[in-house]
A and B are shown apart, each in its own frame.
Chain A
């Protein structure tokens, strides 16, 4: 089923359900892109999150124009700072809804940022 099996550059709106510390409360739903579907992990895939308020292009964050069609209402940045895991079991559900795919230069730059993280 499209959207439940993430592929690189797929964009999801991921709901945060753990906000126990006041300092960690941020947006409850964040846009995230798949950068590794993780064959060797049965439970998770790797996501890079997008921020519309804390972009740091001088530190390598990738610019992302607003794209309302895939749920990206404001201009923002993709950053390795926000790399984390997303449960495969919840992918495609209301907690992790498929919104579309990155394309063109933005797709190449986001995947390049991730793949180049060790260099």
Chain B
């Protein structure tokens, strides 16, 4: 019991044979995320489980937890057959928001977009959507484990702790009279490290921002901005990159968060201001392929 819902010990390599058999995916390599499709989830090479997509947004998805393990076909899930003829259970009342970085592989389709909307709307109105509800009661402890585990994944934002902090905005710092040379002087850095801070490739602490503000006699907030690598980090969350990310994790022995952080920073460092989506995408792929080689 709970073997797949808790997924302990299974790696993505052991699970990746269960990929989509849809000829369209095989032909195009499509990774588009569509309502009603079944996807596997993975983080740090660990297979986390399956979901049915209930709604896809630009940076995240809403999902219904799902399981192919017959012993887990318990209330209040309902049973549906996927496009490969395999039965699975799904919990529409336990809809969860997840970052797209957790999506690993599209496996099959389960429901149409219209069916997902109808079931959601009925449940929101406390009306029985008349689906094939499981009849077996959930065993003791099952709901607690399910809720706690999905709570954890909901709040997995994929970032590493060292991405926290504040970032220098190159243009704002220049407007305040700052430069890479002054950063080198204030923080006793070499030219390369000072330039990385100047371009916002690395965060600084609030205390460092205060010191810099004191040196320039300006409010630190006037010289700070958001994480400039976030654009690349967000792009990297698209599941089209997941296989390359997993390969880099295996090759380099890093955590998935570290691989994503390094690839985003590397791509940003090499980016030109006028890079379009295709060039940025290629820089991310190149950065991932450099990790651990």
Q: Which candidate, B90-98, B177-185, B273-281, is the interface stretch facing chain A?
A: B90-98
Q: How many residues of B contact A (CB 8 A)?
A: 46
B62: shortest Cβ distance to chain A, in Å?
6
Binding site for A on B (CB under 8 A): 43-44, 54-55, 57-60, 62, 75-76, 93-97, 99, 116-117, 120-121, 123-124, 126, 128, 138, 143-144, 147-161, 255-257
Q: Known: A41-B94, A44-B93, A118-B117. Contact between A83 and B150, CB under 8 A?
A: no
B116: shortest Cβ distance to chain A, in Å?
7
- A44 near B156 (CB under 8 angstroms)? no
Measured CB to CB, the nearest residue on chain A to B58 is: A59
CA distance A23 to B149 in the complex (A): 14
- A44 near B94 (CB under 8 angstroms)? yes
CA distance A118 to B256 in the complex (A): 31
Q: Which B residues lie within 8 Å of A36 (CB)?
A: 93, 123-124
- B95 near A46 (CB under 8 angstroms)? yes
- A59 near B93 (CB under 8 angstroms)? no
Q: How many residues of A contact B (CB 8 A)?
A: 35
Question: Which one, B93, B117, B121, contacts A41 given CB within 8 A?
Answer: B93
Q: Which A residues lie within 8 Å of B159 (CB)?
A: 23
Q: Is A86 close to B, CB under 8 A?
A: yes
CA distance A85 to B97 in the complex (A): 10
- A1-34 Cβ-contact flags toward B at 8 Å (1 or 0): 0000000000000001111111111100000000
